[in-house]
Structure 1
């Protein structure tokens, strides 16, 4: 009994310290995952905490479950529209990119350490994939508002590249254990295809079953998030049992669930946000406890060399080759190449050689841990600055202060949304009755200093809180009405999109006649939608821009794969 009391004391103290430290790290720009990892190291046997922990199997089990929960939450927040522009590029990165990174790292490790190529490939396979927890967590906490094509590619890649990394790691380990010297490429491709096929089918089917269960069962509201979590983990376990990719399956189950009309939707999302953070904290604390910092010093120069080669050569080359057929703009390729964040997955994979009893297993683990530290420190801290430097940011989309799904049986499209009236917003100073609200949007309450006010007889002031009942498709418009600007000055809509808004069906000739800009003669009859779609190979996203004479055309709005509104940015004095 005394042991469990002490264990609970230590666990709760570490959890509390991690949460408090997160507030500090956000202010100074340090990635949260790095903070959790360092706290685990401080609590370990080499730190002031002095907690001895070397159970690799327990760390693997905790890391696997935690990662499944994190990937499920990432899937819940991935909009289906993102697959339009990023599915195949992300799959190419998840398969070709991982293998190219692993092969280049294998060659470098063989040269640096005197490894055989197969031993080098094991190290490459372990650290060759990006990490979903690191990518999802860092993009959210760093406040980087990226173009949809870039953000979607990074998120889908990190959620789907685990099968390749796990399969390659296990296959190389088995070959090394059996004394083989060559990699069977045919067996690798066959196993990978089976993992993707089973994982894909189980994820989609499992997600649809979960949607039916959540919408059909009449439960206490607090049980719906638990039903979603239990169902997602069941999909993960069943898929893994049948030799499919459990991580891919639970990610796709989350995507299906997150894009469906769902009972208690906001409740599910809110609870899973907390579960994902709890999983990240627990996983990185455990992995931090597992490492012995003094051992890292013995491999510091080797780890630094591998990390620099990975960030500067292997990842950029792998990205360039993987995205070659998709003609990504060079700035976006450069950013995706830099944002190859490593995190929990490589560390979890680095426990495999230890469990296999492989020679030099601790060396693999220490090198991997050092690479992850360097990646989180250098790449994690430059998410937002690199995006701004390369010009791939987009104006952030404002969100309601509160958002609750109205659980009317059989109708889950209505939401209660709450906004704080912001200074200089279109609604400020006007009566609610005078606002051009979309059809079906109804004002529910107006609060000022915590006191209800007459809705239609009171002019809105800065700081007022307004509740409205609306359909999901109207929320973005309401955001622009009450809170139109949520980003830095250089991303202000008028500066970013331009002074004028054009219809996507307008022709270039019309634009030239009205605004006096030069257009190519053979393109005068093309619409703005056709011109921009051609420029970006049918993968256009909001924020894409092309020059038109001395002006710029900027994609402002897309509806069902069609560009409906385009900004015209004229040269500034």
Structure 2
């Protein structure tokens, strides 16, 4: 028996991580593969039985995991982003008017299309107003959208989750009363209590953590454990005082920490991101495995039609109505109206309320879970497959972004950036030298004055079209720090820095450890000063397309100075010139 439990627990973890890796390789939402894995080992093969495995611990564990996910999401929401992009009013409209329209239309659709009673239909609609940050977050990182739509989708996905869960609780409060008037009165009272309790406990927990970090009451090793402890404490305490106030509390705690200026929480965020990935991987496998074969077989065309109606009618109508009169371009409005994948919160809340509502005499409530999972699966599949081509069609994202963020805007960095921009690639230059920035802007290139390590500078970067970063300053330590700084934006495989100079054995200076710098750009020995000599005072970069008749060797022989620039080119055979590093040598068809 103990071996069976061990195998199931291990299998959940293995399936979750393999699904995440598969999604990364195929550039598709991970939840799609997590759901498929859960359905195969659960109702498909019967190898995983979450209810038997976890028993009464299942839903408390799910609730705590969802709390961690929303806490991490809240720590990525900064008010400066709203002010900078002037989207605060639009976001408020989406969180109020769009949610209300979705609730009303969703209720009508569930009643007339599926045939649910009004109470069950209203509860289903309340559950489905949420959009999943577990899906939106990875999707936005992959798309690298331009404009304000990325910020709006991110804020909506995180903030509407606790609001949607609270709305579901309020609807449940109304449903369980025999008299509608009494139910509405209690629901209205519960709403304000939930809001007050959630905000209070979340703010207090954040304040306690800020004080402890600012006064150095904690060693570094305890920063993350204490952060989790306070988050769990605020979640549990808020839920004890008021049902479902915990999700709002942890979201408020995360947002408060993200917008304070007294302590750095970067290391806390990085830990939570790793933990969130692990939790999402396990949760979706577990919840999908809970579905029973008869539940899946019971889904008819009415459920499919309901999902289609939610995607094609409810979401577009709610978003277009909420953005009337806003300054958002139509292409951004249309893209937002097509982007509302459901995630872990909808699945978890449906699982909890289905049991409670069925016990109160609503037999249709057992159908909430399969319909919700159908909605999750369908939206993840449809939006996941269509997001990339649609964003490109609307001009909000580029296909396979190959642009470069240059750290350093000196003369030969500008020459490289100019050559790439002339070929249609996105470039952005950052430098602390005003003259370099001025020359970059005069040449028509986007340039930002400031330190690449500063938060304000980082927030000014338009990541649309950028796929990697080149750290090309004369300071090797700055280059290494910059690579570490932009890891979460581009990934470890897409941050590069110039070669480090050799360190003599008797030198007092030690080499920068390999794990603390980016991938080497151009090759060993080509550091800043060597490249300065190669390019000279007036660097010129010419792009020549290679053909079968005119390949690399004739190109090298045809140059006036074969030992200068093209001797340098000969040493970077891994560079697809003007398109960056690839695992191949120069061949016909390349520039």
TM-score range, shorter chain: 0.5 to 0.7
SS in 2 for 1:159: helix
Instruction: For 2:527 and 2:78, locate their aligned partners in 1 and report how far apart those are by CA, in whole Å.
Output: 25
Equivalent residue number for residue 22 of structure 2: 24
Distance apart, 1:144 and its partner CA: 1.2
Deviations 1:532-563 (A, max 9, x none): xxxxxxxxxxxxxxxxxxxxxxxxxxxxxxxx
Distance apart, 1:68 and its partner CA: 1.3
SS in 2 for 1:38: helix
Instruction: For 1:254 and 1:433, locate their aligned partners in 2 and report how far apart those are by CA, in whole Å.
Output: 32
The answer on whether the counterparts of 1:25 and 1:32 sit within 8 Å (CA) in structure 2 is yes
Equivalent residue number for residue 287 of structure 2: 287
Which shows bigger deviation, 271-280 or 163-172?
163-172
Equivalent residue number for residue 575 of structure 2: none
Aligned positions of 1:480-499 closer than 5 A: none
> Measured at CA, do residues 195 and 97 of structure 1 come closer, stay the same or move farther in structure 2, by a change above 3 Å?
farther
The reply on whether 1:172 has 2:158 as its aligned counterpart is no
The answer on whether the counterparts of 1:145 and 1:396 sit within 8 Å (CA) in structure 2 is no
Deviations 1:341-373 (A, max 9, x none): 111122112121213313122211111111111
Distance apart, 1:125 and its partner CA: 1.4
> Measured at CA, do residues 12 and 169 of structure 1 come closer, stay the same or move farther in structure 2, by a change above 3 Å?
same
Instruction: For 1:328 and 1:183, locate their aligned partners in 2 and report how far apart those are by CA, in whole Å.
Output: 41
Deviations 1:137-161 (A, max 9, x none): 3323xx1112352122222222222
SS in 1 for 2:148: helix
SS in 2 for 1:82: helix
The answer on whether the counterparts of 2:113 and 2:306 sit within 8 Å (CA) in structure 1 is no
Question: What TM-score, normalized to structure 1?
Answer: 0.66
Equivalent residue number for residue 542 of structure 2: none
The answer on whether the counterparts of 2:107 and 2:124 sit within 8 Å (CA) in structure 1 is yes
The answer on whether the counterparts of 2:51 and 2:58 sit within 8 Å (CA) in structure 1 is no
The answer on whether the counterparts of 1:126 and 1:350 sit within 8 Å (CA) in structure 2 is yes
> Measured at CA, do residues 6 and 387 of structure 1 come closer, stay the same or move farther in structure 2, by a change above 3 Å?
same
Aligned positions of 1:421-436 closer than 5 A: 424=416
What RMSD, in angstroms, separates the aligned Cα atoms of the two structures?
3.9
Aligned positions of 1:132-147 closer than 5 A: 132-140=133-141, 143-147=142-146
Distance apart, 1:296 and its partner CA: 1.2
Distance apart, 1:102 and its partner CA: 1.9
The answer on whether the counterparts of 2:71 and 2:250 sit within 8 Å (CA) in structure 1 is yes
The reply on whether 1:119 has 2:111 as its aligned counterpart is no
Instruction: For 2:203 and 2:326, locate their aligned partners in 1 and report how far apart those are by CA, in whole Å.
Output: 26
Distance apart, 1:287 and its partner CA: 0.6
Distance apart, 1:104 and its partner CA: 0.8
Count how many residue pairs are aligned between Structure 1 and Structure 2. 438
Distance apart, 1:73 and its partner CA: 1.2
The reply on whether 1:207 has 2:206 as its aligned counterpart is yes
The answer on whether the counterparts of 1:159 and 1:248 sit within 8 Å (CA) in structure 2 is no
The answer on whether the counterparts of 1:36 and 1:285 sit within 8 Å (CA) in structure 2 is yes
Equivalent residue number for residue 394 of structure 2: 390
> Measured at CA, do residues 183 and 345 of structure 1 come closer, stay the same or move farther in structure 2, by a change above 3 Å?
farther
Equivalent residue number for residue 350 of structure 1: 350
Deviations 1:410-430 (A, max 9, x none): xxxxxxxxxxx999359x9xx
Distance apart, 1:261 and its partner CA: 4.7
Equivalent residue number for residue 338 of structure 2: 338
The answer on whether the counterparts of 2:212 and 2:218 sit within 8 Å (CA) in structure 1 is no
Aligned positions of 1:425-464 closer than 5 A: 443-445=475-477, 452=502, 462-463=522-523
Instruction: For 2:93 and 2:56, locate their aligned partners in 1 and report how far apart those are by CA, in whole Å.
Output: 32
Instruction: For 1:222 and 1:33, locate their aligned partners in 2 and report how far apart those are by CA, in whole Å.
Output: 32
Aligned positions of 1:53-132 closer than 5 A: 53=51, 58-84=57-83, 85-132=86-133
Equivalent residue number for residue 588 of structure 2: none
> Measured at CA, do residues 385 and 56 of structure 1 come closer, stay the same or move farther in structure 2, by a change above 3 Å?
farther
Instruction: For 1:211 and 1:467, locate their aligned partners in 2 and report how far apart those are by CA, in whole Å.
Output: 42
Equivalent residue number for residue 223 of structure 1: 222
SS in 1 for 2:475: strand
The answer on whether the counterparts of 2:114 and 2:303 sit within 8 Å (CA) in structure 1 is no
Aligned positions of 1:373-412 closer than 5 A: 373-393=377-397
The answer on whether the counterparts of 1:40 and 1:287 sit within 8 Å (CA) in structure 2 is yes
The answer on whether the counterparts of 1:75 and 1:251 sit within 8 Å (CA) in structure 2 is yes
Instruction: For 2:525 and 2:417, locate their aligned partners in 1 and report how far apart those are by CA, in whole Å.
Output: 13
Distance apart, 1:324 and its partner CA: 2.7
Q: Which has the larger radius of gyration?
A: 2
Distance apart, 1:227 and its partner CA: 2.0
Q: Which runs of 5+ in 2 are unaligned?
A: 408-412, 421-430, 438-448, 454-473, 480-496, 510-519, 529-591
The answer on whether the counterparts of 1:90 and 1:154 sit within 8 Å (CA) in structure 2 is no
